[in-house]
Structure 1
Amino acid sequence: MTTTLITGANRGLGLETARRLVAAGHTVYAGMRDPAGGDAARAVGARVVRLDVTDAASVTAAVAELPELDVLVNNAGVLGTSFDLDDLDADAMTAVLDTNVVGIVRTTQAALPLLRRSANPVVVNVASGVGWPRALQEPGRDEYPVRAVPYAASKAAVITLTVQYAKNLPDFRVNVADPGYTATDLNRHSGHQTVTEGTDATVMLATLGPDGPTGEFHDRHGRIAF
């Protein structure tokens, strides 16, 4: 049995990832800040665990609840409060980076001892096309109109940290997923993809075997060249 931990799994992409991996036979631990809001995760067969990626003690306690771990999906993320330069300041930047980037480091570092015991350790980081400079600069793409600095910068950092983790962990499969423009609470359901479409890449990467790729960036259509 494959044991999987997903952060930010109370709704949206995290919840759908939990549903699909449970259906694929994984024992899924659905991490979320408030387990009282975990009824949807429980309904799809996941086990709810309190996990706030901005709180080191919470992350440590959550990982301590796991008997073993094969797959870590770092899905938790926030848009933040800054969407152009007029509302940008250091505090707005720090808040987004703390969740979207440092939160991945907190969780992954805490999970490494368990993952290293797995015969097939896998880490999937959920980024975004807005972290890919080429997409931000290409008219006609969904990412092009985005002007927010913190969110885009945080997702660029996620892509890069994934490559670096993959280099440092050659026995792991460490990859990064771009969900695409998916209808979730995060964007007030303005996206044109369903949550199932938005989790295609994450689920594929979470179910890789030991001979699968590592250090790569994928969307639902396949590998995105750096």
Structure 2
Amino acid sequence: MTSATTALVTGANKGIGFAIAQGLGRRGLRVVVGARSEAAGAEAVERLAAQSIDASAVRLDVTDDASVADAATELDDRFGTLDVLVNNAGISGAFDPVTWEQDPTTMDLDELRRVVDTNVYGVVRVTNAMLPLLRRSSAPRIVNTSSSMGSLGRQPGPVMAAYSSSKTFLNGITVQYARALADTPVIVNAACPGLVATDFNGFAGDRTPEQGAAIVVQLATLPDDGPRGGLFDDGGVVPW
């Protein structure tokens, strides 16, 4: 067990998650790539190590109680503590390939449940499993990767009934964690990376993964007097 600052990033084997791990690693943090596939996690670690980043992987499926519990036990055994948790893993759910929409009037409830299970319940599942480790840190940070598409005020982009609603739910959960942990060193916020070109959206975004990751990295390394319970993008607070 060392005194290095350790960060776990879920869904970090590709896209924004990989860029977040890369950004934190470049700041000198020891990063743990959370990935459902051991092979994908190992490949990401190899790419990070090639950049002289201290990286390792842990198998982690945010929708599986046993997988999350095993990952927490493994991190406890390896490091004994956790300083940063980035809940990045997420899915869009099925959408119309022509309109890019999820129509609430025809939405399949099982598909909605699948999206919420990953994007919201997965965050709660992982956060609660990792909190005992985070509480051992002197400056613990939790960042939930969200979206301004969950904003009730802005309502940007196409109608995405499952995805956007899950992010509204996630923003609400983020606030409740921040309130519950207000008197502790644990700082909790949500981040909006913007429309990033990844396989998540068919590479249709206008931002690079590195650009999208920047706000997450910033929130993950906030000073002790940093903001709590907010949703932020590059421009500052996102009203939602």
Superposition TM-score tier, normalisation by shorter sequence: over 0.9
Residue 198 of structure 2 corresponds to residue 195 of structure 1 = no
Q: 1:151 deviation in Å?
A: 0.4
**Partner amino acid, structure 2, of 1:37:** A
Q: Compare 212-221 and 3-12 and name the one that shifted more.
A: 212-221
> Match for residue 82 of structure 2?
69
Q: 1:40 deviation in Å?
A: 2.6
1:60-209 alignment, distance < 5 Å: 60-66=69-75, 67=79, 68-82=81-95, 83-85=102-104, 87-136=106-155, 143-144=156-157, 146-170=158-182, 171=184, 172-209=186-223
Q: Deviations 1:28-47 (Å, cap 9, x if unpaired)?
A: 11101001012133321321
> Match for residue 19 of structure 2?
16
Q: CA RMSD in A?
A: 1.2
Give the aligned length. Answer: 219
Check whether the contact 1:30–1:47 (CA below 8 A) recurs between aligned residues: yes
Check whether the contact 1:13–1:199 (CA below 8 A) recurs between aligned residues: yes
**Partner amino acid, structure 2, of 1:97:** V
**The residue matched to 1:44 in structure 2 has which SS?**
helix
Check whether the contact 1:9–1:41 (CA below 8 A) recurs between aligned residues: no
* Percent identity between the two aligned chains: 45
Cα distance in 1 for residues equivalent to 2:28 and 2:239 = 31
Scaled by the length of structure 2, what TM-score is found?
0.88
> Match for residue 225 of structure 2?
211
**Partner amino acid, structure 2, of 1:220:** D
**Partner amino acid, structure 2, of 1:47:** S
Q: Deviations 1:99-156 (Å, cap 9, x if unpaired)?
A: 00000000000001111111011100000111002221xxxxxx23x11211011000
Structure 1 unaligned residues grouped into runs of 5+: 137-142
Residue 62 of structure 2 corresponds to residue 49 of structure 1 = no
**Partner amino acid, structure 2, of 1:69:** L
Q: 1:87 deviation in Å?
A: 4.8
> Match for residue 139 of structure 1?
none
**The residue matched to 1:110 in structure 2 has which SS?**
helix
**The residue matched to 1:52 in structure 2 has which SS?**
coil
